[in-house]
Structure 1
Amino acid sequence: MVMDRLPKSLYTPTYARFLAELKNARIAAGLTQIEAAARLGRPQSFISKCESGERRIDVAEFLVFCRAFGIDPCEIIRAVEARSSFKTGSSISLGRRGGKNLRRDAGSIHAGQEVFSDSLTS
């Protein structure tokens, strides 16, 4: 089964919330960008680029960031999910296939369906 191409999640509201939560975690840990960068063995500009969305953070890096900030990664994921537009009982767009708009009940996201972003429309 061929799925429509996923948009770059870098430009979704969910990814923006993820970055905001990660930045909040750094600040809550009492770390400046310089101090966080030192813990990660990277320059301050690396932290700045990640927090601004100029540089994408992958899952492995996310886990290292959380360790450096002394926070459970699940806390950030829960915070992002709590503020996201895909809540149980609502539906999200899964894009288009064959001229039809595809939608799925957002409750299925929590059941582990293959949904990766809350803005998958073409």
Structure 2
Amino acid sequence: MRSSLYYGIGRFAIGRFALSQNALPVAASMPAARKSAFEAPYIEIIDRLIARRRELGMSQADLAVAYGEDQPFISRIERRQRRLDVWEFVRFCRALDVEPGNILRGLD
């Protein structure tokens, strides 16, 4: 099958897919982009979890075993490539033997 790109009056297509000019304004009416998932308070939480892991002398691999995941999972969280949800945060705290409230105390 030949893929072609062509422009016509108020229309463009790539292969079998085409959009009319009327479809383009829809994208402009989309909601504004969300703020970063990693704002200052979240970054501080992760920094505190990393500090606690280091305080205990645990490697990421050690924490992964205690948490029940693999080391790359822990690495993605610590590098802020993956966000923790509330339950995961609690599990993280349990694996690090720290109360979740102690990690959250004093955040803005």
Pairwise TM-score range, normalised by the shorter structure? 0.5 to 0.7
Q: Count residues in correspondence.
A: 78
Aligned equivalents of 1:39, 1:58: Cα separation in 2: 18
Cα separation, partners in 2 of 1:50 and 1:31, compared to 1, 3 Å: same
Aligned equivalents of 1:10, 1:36: Cα separation in 2: 23
Say which one has the larger Rg. Answer: 2
| Alignment counterpart, residue 67 of structure 2, candidates 14, 28, 40 | 40
TM-superposed deviation, 1:23: 0.8
The one-letter code matched in structure 2 to 1:58 is: D
| Structure 2: segments with no counterpart, 5+ residues | 1-30
| Structure 1: segments with no counterpart, 5+ residues | 85-122
Runs of 4+ aligned residues of structure 1 deviating over 6 Å after TM superposition are none
RMSD across aligned positions (CA): 2.0
Aligned equivalents of 2:59, 2:95: Cα separation in 1: 12
Cα separation, partners in 2 of 1:59 and 1:9, compared to 1, 3 Å: farther
Contact 1:36-1:69 within 8 A present in 2 as well: yes
Length-normalised TM-score, structure 1 = 0.57
- Tell me the residue number matched to 1:114: none
Q: Which SS does the other structure have where 1:27 is aligned?
A: helix
Higher RCO (C-alpha under 8 Å, 6+ residues apart): 1
Percent of aligned pairs with the same amino acid: 35
Q: Which SS does the other structure have where 1:21 is aligned?
A: helix
TM-superposed deviation, 1:9: 5.2
- Tell me the residue number matched to 2:46: 19
Contact 1:37-1:44 within 8 A present in 2 as well: yes
Contact 1:37-1:46 within 8 A present in 2 as well: yes
The one-letter code matched in structure 2 to 1:32 is: S
TM-superposed deviation, 1:7: 3.6
